[in-house]
Amino acid sequence: MNIGLVGVGRMGANMARRLKDRGFHVTTVFDLNRAAATSLAQELGCAASPTLGDLSAGADVVFTIVTDDAAMREIFTGADNLLASAQGKLFINCATVSPGIHVEVERLAEAAGAASLEACMASSITQAREGSLYLMCGGREENFRRAEPILKELSASLRYIGKSGEAAKVKAVVNMVMNINTAGLAEGLGLGEALGLNLTMLREVFSQTGAASRVLQTDGEDMQNRDHACFFSAAHAAKDSGIALQLAEDNGLDLPLTRETKTQYDRMVASGFGDLDKSGIAELTFKARLTEQSGP
């Protein structure tokens, strides 16, 4: 079985490395950034396909992990696309995009005689490399069963959520709540600093009380120390909260914290800090930082 990869960012590259480690044949990779694709291909000892059509033609299973809905639509419907000669192929789509685009891609893939599955990841680059991703899948169950032997090697937790779009919905809501908790933590630590509290003590108290959260563990110290090396970027956070906000609007729900969280991450992107880790939101809520001209 030949595996192709579309999108050689850090997540995709680490997934390919992991699959190779586990004995799978990652035979071709593609990225609009040709240099990045060539570099990863050299590392993995595989081909860097010049086109999506080539990649698809040479692979049995294709992982895709692209930026957003527009990129997702482009790789499946653009002038050069994955579906030109796709009979029998399985596309496993890992990007965090809207539920609607997954449904659309499934329909397009099936019209081309292929199959698609959404595999939404609630984890980051370290887990991708170690094969310990938290993976939630949506699509036809038969496609999930077909992908399962590969996905098991990438994940510590693998679950089938339901039909196409359902896993993306769960992912959107998970990231929306994670982003709110992150933005709230940044406000708490920012206020603590303004009040002259010892932030190490404050984080410890948070961890023992109703203020405890997973993001406190993953981002609290980084917020205090301004260590915003990127695991999950502010730009991604803005996009993901935006997906959730759109879903809320589509359903007539007003979600004020989701809205304000998106606004904060949009502010980071607009200020040129979209590439910082999501913990960088603390740069907006610490008084001493706000007054600085330069970034962290």
Per CB under 8 A, 125 contacts a copy of itself: no
- Of positions 110, 263, 270, 292, contacts a copy of itself by CB under 8 A: 263
- Of positions 85, 248, 275, 289, contacts a copy of itself by CB under 8 A: 248
H or E element, residue 123: none
Neighbours of 164 (CB within 10 A): 24
Structure tokens at 105: 């891609």
Sign, Cα dihedral of 232, 235, 237, 243: negative
Per CB under 8 A, 131 contacts a copy of itself: no
Report, in Å, the least distance between residue 175 CB and a copy of itself.
7
Q: Please tell me the distance from the alpha carbon of residue 198 to that of residue 204, in angstroms, as a whole number.
A: 10
Report, in Å, the least distance between residue 138 CB and a copy of itself.
11
- Dihedrals phi, psi of 274, to nearest 5 degrees: -65, -20
Q: Please tell me the distance from the alpha carbon of residue 38 to that of residue 8, in angstroms, as a whole number.
A: 10
Structure tokens at 45: 């000892």
Q: By CB under 8 A, what part of segment 267-296 binds a copy of itself?
A: 285, 287
Name the residue with tokens 């030949």: 2
- Of positions 32, 84, 211, 269, contacts a copy of itself by CB under 8 A: 211
Q: By CB under 8 A, what part of segment 142-201 binds a copy of itself?
A: 157, 159, 161, 166, 169-170, 173-178, 180-181, 183-185, 187-188, 190-192, 194-195, 197, 201
Nearer residue to a copy of itself within complex by CB, 2 or 271:
271
Which residue type is seen at 57?
A: A
Give CA separation, 140 vs 99, 119, 209, in Å. Answer: 14, 12, 42
Nearer residue to a copy of itself within complex by CB, 90 or 161:
161
Q: Please tell me the distance from the alpha carbon of residue 10 to that of residue 66, in angstroms, as a whole number.
A: 11
Per CB under 8 A, 257 contacts a copy of itself: yes
- Of positions 45, 87, 208, 229, contacts a copy of itself by CB under 8 A: 208
Cα–Cα–Cα angle for 157, 162, 167, nearest 5°?
Answer: 60
Which residue ranges make up the site for a copy of itself (CB under 8 A)?
A: 99, 122-123, 134, 136, 157, 159, 161, 166, 169-170, 173-178, 180-181, 183-185, 187-188, 190-192, 194-195, 197, 201-202, 205-206, 208-215, 218, 244, 247-248, 251-253, 255-261, 263-264, 285, 287
